[in-house]
Chains A and B, each alone.
Chain A
Amino acid sequence: MENLPKGTLIAFIAVHVNVVLKLIHRPLVFFQLDGRLNGHADSREKVTEFGFDYCYWSVDPESPKYASQEEVFQDLGVSVLAGASEGYNVCLFAYGQTGSGKTYTMMGTPDSTGLTPRICQHELCCPLSIRSFLEIYNERVRDLLRCPEQKPNTLRVREHPEKGPYVQGLLQYIVSDYKQAVKLLEMGIGNRMTATTHMHDASSRSHAIFSIQYTQAILENNLPSEIVSKINLVDLAGSERADPNFCRDRITEGSNINKSLVTLGIVISGLAQNSQMFSSCQSINSMASEGEGSTVGSQSSSLSGSTRRQCFIPYRDSVLTWLLKDSLGGNSRTIMIATISPSCSSYNETLSTLRYAAHARNIVNKPRVNEDANVKLIRELREEIDRLKSMLLSFEMRNSSPSLSDDRDGSFSDIVLQNELKVSVRNWGT
């Protein structure tokens, strides 16, 4: 994900191994990936260590460190609900290889319900919640709460100044009890399964977003008011075949060469992006800054934003990034759950999932507030401070009449500049 906001809570879960990463002030839990377990310990004898906010192990229910669905909900689901009730948009998404348990974590099974139904259950204390459920397959949006027979079922994504990003024509349901909520959820999951031609890997090729719009009535200054927040629960496509637009970082990170000239655009926009980053980091440390970027110092001078060079890269966000824009860049909290499998055969995918999540943890990619140079202001203030100082000095020396030379040319700017000064000068003078 190109632009995970700071303050992202990143969680790692698998049917088998769970690791959670939370960015805000929390000691990291370290997760070790031991290449030697691999059987063919050729060149991978290293033990790789990653730090995350939470790690869960849910391979074997008998194991003492086994994490149940309830436990995961208590850590993550509860913080989703807390964020929403504080008025933040919350986005929780699962990332990982097919079969590592994304859908299990997000949806669960009838005997072991996952995060989404649990969140639905707890959130229902709020009477005004609106739900929608959609699927993105091949950059096309499909309404999962609409009968598959109904047409048209390819929807457009748009932005509204007041309501934010939305899908035109997406059905929205108001539900009042848990039973209804679960029914909707099941209906959506059912549609996801049946409508696709690739039945056997329906969930691994498409992203599914279950949204809850959450409205709370509050009293603000004794006036009834409401807080609207949105919870997006996202079940991503399998990471091994995730939409290349979605995790472009990860794909272009490798040195694989794009073979077809059709992908020339990716290469060129990568090039433009790269040089933009390079030219901008001289002034403002925007864009994906690795590590705990506290190097704001580079802009300590008053010439901050003005040397930044901005260009436009005509590269459309993927539908997913577009829809989650408000969750990723706005007033939001984000939780990423990365799921991995302990199987030896998945070693490479596991390593890359962990790397990606650890990398995501450090991605801060927010557009900055551009600032004009305030050289002029600083110069004026310096002059004023000097004047103030000298006046104080002359006053302290009981110099009978401090100079009123500042009044001399009587220009408007001096009058204003010394608006504060004059008052005192006159006072001292008499």
Chain B
Amino acid sequence: MASTYSAEWRSVCEKFRRAQHLTDVESKKDPENDPFRSKYKAREVLKEIYNILKRYDSEDNESEQTGGDHDRDDDHDGEPGCGSAHPGDSAAGLRAARLGAIEYFLGVNHVETEELSAGEEHLMNCMKLLDKCLVSRENVSVFIQARNQLGILWAGRDEIEKAQGFLETAESIYLRYMKEDGQPPTDLAEFFVGEEEELSQQERTRRFEMAYTHTLYYLAQVYKNQEHYEKAGRYCHITLQRQLAFDQFVPLDWAINAATLSQYYITKSCYMEARHCLAAASVIAGLAGEVPSEAAAQESEAENEKREQLRQKRAEIARCWIKYCLNLLQDAKKLLEDNIGELDIERQEELKRARRREEEEKEQGRKSAVLFGSSETSDSICALEEKVSCALPLDFQEARAIFLVGQSHVAEAKEYFQMDGHVTDHIEILQDHSALFSALSFFEEDLERRCKMHKRRVDMLEPICKDLNAQYYLLICRQLQFELAETYYEMMDLKLALANKQDELDAHSIKKFNHLCNASIKYYQKFLDSIRSPEGKFPEKLEEDVLRPALVAKFRIARLHSRIISSDVSAQLQNLSRSLDCYNFVVHYCEENPEARKAVETELELSEEMVSLLPLKIERLRAKKASSN
């Protein structure tokens, strides 16, 4: 075998360097009408290297047969059970690894130039060469990277299971290697460099771990494709964790990805994991540097861009936090409410007892989770986590703590997403703020204060709803109208319950009550008006997305009209007939559009009853009016 120092070997190394330069540098400058020019050149060079290596191989084989320069380690009859496997560090093993590496580079080259079948062949050749060897420090990188490539290749052909096979093998090879050896292995490029250019141990580790991070990332996608979402989520999580651990990340991008992953965990009710992602996101986003001042931004376009990016991404992370707090509160509410939506005291006690029992188990769960962070960051991440609970709140105090964290993130997010320029985002944040209040009010026992919380919702949504042009923001307008109508309704109910506690019914309370009724009617009506055509015509057939809301709005307006308190009989009559009209609308609409029935089953049933009962009542009232005259 040619000595590593021979002139010929040096020329091989030189060729290899050229191939790499062509692939990585030159190819970027290729013209559009000849996009693979440099890669084709690189391929020719790689083939030359391949031929030289092949020649060495046969020369070596000859010399072995003549009993010449026999390699001590080249022991074909190794331990039993290993068949004809070469140890990776034997001469034959090294030869195989070196040739395998060139096959690998040729394979990648063909894949990148869109010649998949040829690429596959080279990669399979690489695998075959290595299959004769035992996994070792010298060849483990080739083992893993070839399988990574084959994984992508088969996934591209829609053969996900085949891809999965290669990638999972790569995964297990890595795990076994780390368990049995664990030393930084030789990198593929190192086969073709002189000793003076060998990589540092640190660089070897970096490259090797990077290849394995890719394996995991590809597996995440494979699992996602196969709809194994939990597994996919776990692999995304580990990918993020490894990026951080091996310092291979861009802070802002990493932070956004972690924040997004938190949203995945939220939908799965995994609040501990969600909180961990969010805390890490906030800490890592902090590493991205200071926001340039407004003055600096005005002076340079680059600073301006940086300012925008930093402010936007941080505001987005704040929005992810808002959702965390909101979902935590809402989940707790769902768990604690009785069949009419009030706090179920027994259930509350039961859950509190259960939580005390579980507390210890939770600690253990935490230890087994995959945690983010390096020595510098993990303390800050932990500190941030401690600022908000990840357990469902069971009473007002706990709920309030979560609410306050959510509210502080609302303020933070609104700083960037201002109404002027970011209408949709700004309103979404306000809607979340309103929802935070709504969820918190569930835990509030004092009805007066509960009512005030709903008043806060009205105060933040009403002015916005007024200013918004429905031509451009129709759906947002509708959401706001509906929410306002419901909030007023809720307030009316609370006022009623409050008045209930007092014995007297004073004129002020009646006035307040009627005002709330009318405000609720007004917004339901606005919602219904938004469905009209530009000429003001109400559609004969409701679109599927507004069908239920529109009928529910009518149903509620019917109810609200009949609740208005009045001492005047004529006014009572008017309110009742308005109420009847609305019940009638629901009934008639469902008669004419039978497919709508199933969307509003309960409401329809009740409306039908009211349509049959109300006329009698109106009749009586009229009779009374006539007789009193």
Q: Could you tell me which A residues sit within 8 Å of B by CB distance?
A: 6-7, 86-89, 158-165, 198, 227-229, 254-259, 261-262, 264-265, 267-272, 274-276, 278-279, 293-294, 296-297, 299-302, 304, 306-307, 309-315, 325-326, 329-331, 364, 366-379, 381-382, 385, 388-389, 392, 410-413, 415-417, 419-421, 423-424, 426-428
Known: A258-B221, A272-B260, A329-B474. A413 touches B156 (CB 8 A): no
B225 within 8 A of A: yes
Interface-centre pick from B479, B496, B545 (highest chain A CB count, 10 A): B545
Complex Cα–Cα for A311 and B563 (A):
37
**Contact (Cβ within 8 A) B621 A7:** no
**Contact (Cβ within 8 A) A372 B490:** yes
Considering only CB atoms, which chain B residue lies closest to A276 in the complex? B267
B341 within 8 A of A: yes
Known: A6-B545, A261-B214. A331 touches B470 (CB 8 A): yes
A377 shortest CB reach to chain B, Å: 6
Complex Cα–Cα for A111 and B473 (A):
40
**Contact (Cβ within 8 A) B552 A374:** yes
Known: A312-B322, A416-B563, A419-B563. A265 touches B253 (CB 8 A): yes
**Contact (Cβ within 8 A) A412 B499:** yes
B617 within 8 A of A: yes
When distances are taken between beta carbons in the complex, the residues of chain A under 8 Å from B544 are 6, 293-294, 296, 364
When distances are taken between beta carbons in the complex, the residues of chain B under 8 Å from A311 are 263-264, 266-267, 320, 323, 327
Complex Cα–Cα for A262 and B256 (A):
12
When distances are taken between beta carbons in the complex, the residues of chain B under 8 Å from A367 are 475-476, 479
Considering only CB atoms, which chain A residue lies closest to B550 in the complex? A369
**Contact (Cβ within 8 A) B602 A86:** no
Complex Cα–Cα for A25 and B608 (A):
31
A selection of 11 A-B contacts at a CB cut-off of 8 Å is A87-B535, A265-B253, A269-B260, A272-B267, A274-B224, A275-B264, A300-B599, A330-B470, A411-B500, A419-B562, A428-B620
**Contact (Cβ within 8 A) A415 B505:** yes
When distances are taken between beta carbons in the complex, the residues of chain B under 8 Å from A265 are 253, 256-257, 260
Considering only CB atoms, which chain A residue lies closest to B497 in the complex? A413
When distances are taken between beta carbons in the complex, the residues of chain B under 8 Å from A255 are 155-156, 158, 160, 225
Considering only CB atoms, which chain B residue lies closest to A158 in the complex? B421
B269 shortest CB reach to chain A, Å: 8
Q: Which residues between 26 and 41 of chain B lie within 8 Å of chain A, taking CB atoms? A: 32
Complex Cα–Cα for A368 and B599 (A):
14
By Cβ-Cβ distance, the 5 closest A-B pairs, closest first, are A164-B472, A87-B534, A412-B499, A314-B316, A311-B263
When distances are taken between beta carbons in the complex, the residues of chain B under 8 Å from A268 are 236, 257, 260-261, 264
Known: A309-B267, A416-B513. A270 touches B471 (CB 8 A): no
Dominant SS among interface residues on chain B: helix
Complex Cα–Cα for A382 and B607 (A):
10
When distances are taken between beta carbons in the complex, the residues of chain B under 8 Å from A269 are 260
Complex Cα–Cα for A382 and B340 (A):
13
B613 shortest CB reach to chain A, Å: 5
When distances are taken between beta carbons in the complex, the residues of chain B under 8 Å from A330 are 470-475
Known: A159-B424, A272-B260, A377-B559. A164 touches B543 (CB 8 A): no
Q: Which residues between 474 and 519 of chain B lie within 8 Å of chain A, taking CB atoms? A: 474-476, 478-479, 482-483, 486, 490, 493, 496-497, 499-500, 502-503, 505, 509, 513
Given contact pairs A264-B239, A326-B473, A424-B617, enumerate 17 new A-B contacts (beta carbons under 8 Å). A161-B420, A165-B472, A265-B256, A265-B260, A268-B260, A275-B264, A276-B263, A296-B598, A301-B601, A306-B334, A314-B317, A385-B606, A388-B613, A416-B565, A419-B563, A424-B616, A427-B621
When distances are taken between beta carbons in the complex, the residues of chain B under 8 Å from A381 are 559, 606, 610
Considering only CB atoms, which chain A residue lies closest to B274 in the complex? A311
**Contact (Cβ within 8 A) B423 A160:** yes
Considering only CB atoms, which chain B residue lies closest to A367 in the complex? B475
Complex Cα–Cα for A410 and B503 (A):
8
Considering only CB atoms, which chain A residue lies closest to B546 in the complex? A369
Considering only CB atoms, which chain B residue lies closest to A299 in the complex? B548
B576 within 8 A of A: yes
Known: A6-B544, A300-B599, A423-B617. A314 touches B559 (CB 8 A): no
When distances are taken between beta carbons in the complex, the residues of chain B under 8 Å from A299 are 548, 599
Complex Cα–Cα for A379 and B572 (A):
23
Considering only CB atoms, which chain B residue lies closest to A201 in the complex? B32
Q: Which residue in A88, A254, A271, A325 is a CB contact (below 8 Å) of B264?
A: A271
The interface bits of chain B over 593-610 (1 if a CB of A lies within 8 angstroms of the residue's CB, else 0) are 001001111110010011
B345 within 8 A of A: no
**Contact (Cβ within 8 A) B598 A297:** yes
Q: Which residues between 338 and 390 of chain B lie within 8 Å of chain A, taking CB atoms? A: 339-341
When distances are taken between beta carbons in the complex, the residues of chain B under 8 Å from A389 are 613
Q: Which residue in B267, B478, B576, B606 is a CB contact (below 8 Å) of A369?
A: B478
B258 shortest CB reach to chain A, Å: 9
**Contact (Cβ within 8 A) A424 B621:** yes
Considering only CB atoms, which chain A residue lies closest to B572 in the complex? A423
**Contact (Cβ within 8 A) B253 A262:** yes
**Contact (Cβ within 8 A) A376 B341:** yes
Complex Cα–Cα for A272 and B258 (A):
11
**Contact (Cβ within 8 A) B535 A86:** yes
Complex Cα–Cα for A86 and B257 (A):
44
Considering only CB atoms, which chain A residue lies closest to B504 in the complex? A412
Complex Cα–Cα for A275 and B274 (A):
14
**Contact (Cβ within 8 A) B610 A161:** no
B476 shortest CB reach to chain A, Å: 8
**Contact (Cβ within 8 A) B264 A272:** yes
When distances are taken between beta carbons in the complex, the residues of chain B under 8 Å from A428 are 620
**Contact (Cβ within 8 A) B151 A257:** yes
**Contact (Cβ within 8 A) B556 A271:** no
When distances are taken between beta carbons in the complex, the residues of chain B under 8 Å from A378 are 602-603, 606
Known: A370-B482, A388-B617. A375 touches B340 (CB 8 A): yes
**Contact (Cβ within 8 A) B599 A257:** no
**Contact (Cβ within 8 A) B509 A412:** yes
**Contact (Cβ within 8 A) B595 A294:** yes
Q: Which residue in B424, B552, B576 is a CB contact (below 8 Å) of A371?
A: B552
